[in-house]
């Protein structure tokens, strides 16, 4: 059987598990001011919640082969829009696909897992999740006025994106077949775990951008801070270009690209990477302050170091390209090996 509810201006509350003993084909809340429940399970159909002001549940499970989606809408009921005074809060969510539209915030206190579909969450005032796993699907987290926090692993088969006005904080991110994109329009970005992607990896924010190790097996990597620092606390490896840009300082570890170039630009600070840079083509480092770098290898391009302060480098090797070194203060280079280019 199926259950469909329309509470209108009223509230709905379930004190016991729904669908735990007698499986429900589907469960739908079409309207109501608030909805409160413990666990809800469907077997074969969708689980849909459309409420005006507040949604608070425990675990939501939609079991189905062709359907079995979880769809949550707060502040939009049918074609009507409401200024919600509450938020959406859930426990674990398991379904074929998960779609959440919240006029308030969204909090998932346990993991979100899809079997063959996407995870799409739009929480206007902020998003807080633990882990998200999208099997045969992608993950999209969007907050129009708030930030995004993920305390667990974020794993998607076909791409991951987190877009917010506020700050974004995550742990491990994996996109097995596509991109990883994190963008904050007014805050900072901090990724406290590894990022692994098949395609491009892009982290961009006006405030600080902090990452651990990053691997792109078939794309590029870009870390950009428009007003603050970039701190890459782990190795960065990519097939295509690697770009780090910051208004203030840049701190990086080992950098390697097999078919691209490396560009590090600090318009108002210094660049510090005391390990190696290995590039298929050009290596360009430009800083308003000092540059301190370890060994540099360019397999088929030029090496350019341009600093307003002291420039310190290990062994610089160009296999056919030129080497340009400029310092506003002292210049300290251990050795320069040119395979045919000018110095």
Per-residue pLDDT of the chain (343 residues; tens, 9 = 90+): 899 999 988 999 999 899 878 878 999 999 999 999 999 999 988 999 999 999 999 999 998 767 899 999 999 999 999 999 999 999 999 999 999 999 999 999 999 999 889 999 999 999 999 999 999 999 999 999 999 999 999 999 999 999 999 999 999 999 999 999 999 999 999 999 999 999 999 999 999 999 999 999 999 999 999 999 999 999 999 999 999 999 999 999 999 999 999 999 999 999 999 899 999 999 999 999 999 999 999 999 999 999 999 999 999 999 878 899 999 999 999 998 887 666 6
Residues 291-327: b if buried by 16+ CB within 10 A, e if exposed: bbbbebbbbebbbbbbbbbbbbbbebbbeebbbebeb
DSSP string, 202-251: EEEESS-EEE--EEESSS-EEEEESSS-EEE-S-EEESS-EEEEESS-EE
Q: Tell me if 70 sits within 8 A of 47, measured CB to CB.
A: yes
Q: How many residues does the chain have?
A: 343
Prediction pTM value? 0.96
CA angle in degrees (0–180, nearest 5) for 222-154-202: 10
8 Å CB contact between 51 and 28: no
Which region holds residue 206: left if phi is over 0, alpha if psi is between -120 and 50, else beta? alpha
Strand partners, 273: 293
Q: Which one, of 329, 333, 323, 233, lies nearest residue 290 by Cα?
A: 329
């Amino acid at each position: 059987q199926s259950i469909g509810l329309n509470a209108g201006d009223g509230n709905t509350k379930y004190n016991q598990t729904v669908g735990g003993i007698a499986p429900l084909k589907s469960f739908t809340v079409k309207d109501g001011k608030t909805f409160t429940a413990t666990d809800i399970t469907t077997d074969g159909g969708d689980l849909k919640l459309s409420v005006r002001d507040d949604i608070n549940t425990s675990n939501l499970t939609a079991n189905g082969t062709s359907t079995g989606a979880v769809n949550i809408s707060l502040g939009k009921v049918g074609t009507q829009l409401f200024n919600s005074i509450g938020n959406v809060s859930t426990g674990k969510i398991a379904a074929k696909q998960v779609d959440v539209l919240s006029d308030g915030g969204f909090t998932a206190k346990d993991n979100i897992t899809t079997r063959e579909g996407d995870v799409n969450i739009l929480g206007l005032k902020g998003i807080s999740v633990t882990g998200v796993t999208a099997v045969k699907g992608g993950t999209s987290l969007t907050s129009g006025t708030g930030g995004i926090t993920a305390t667990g692993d974020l794993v998607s088969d076909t791409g991951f994106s987190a877009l917010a006005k506020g700050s974004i904080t995550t742990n491990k991110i994996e996109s097995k077949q596509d991109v990883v994109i994190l963008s904050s329009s007014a805050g900072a970005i901090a990724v406290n775990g590894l990022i692994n992607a098949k395609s491009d990896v892009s982290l961009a924010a006006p405030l600080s951008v902090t990452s651990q190790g990053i691997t792109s097996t078939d794309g590029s990597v870009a870390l950009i801070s428009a007003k603050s620092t970039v701190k890459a606390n782990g190795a960065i490896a990519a097939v295509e270009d690697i770009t780090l840009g910051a208004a203030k300082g840049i701190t990086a570890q080992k950098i390697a690209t097999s078919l691209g170039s490396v560009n590090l630009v600090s318009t108002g600070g210094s660049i510090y990477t005391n390990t190696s840079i290995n590039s298929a083509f050009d290596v360009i480092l430009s800083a308003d302050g000092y540059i301190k770098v370890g060994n540099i290898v360019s397999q088929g391009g030029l090496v350019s170091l341009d600093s307003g302060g002291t420039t310190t480098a290990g062994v610089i090797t160009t296999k056919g390209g030129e080497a340009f070194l400029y310092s506003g203060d002292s210049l300290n280079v251990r050795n320069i090996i040119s395979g045919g280019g000018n110095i």
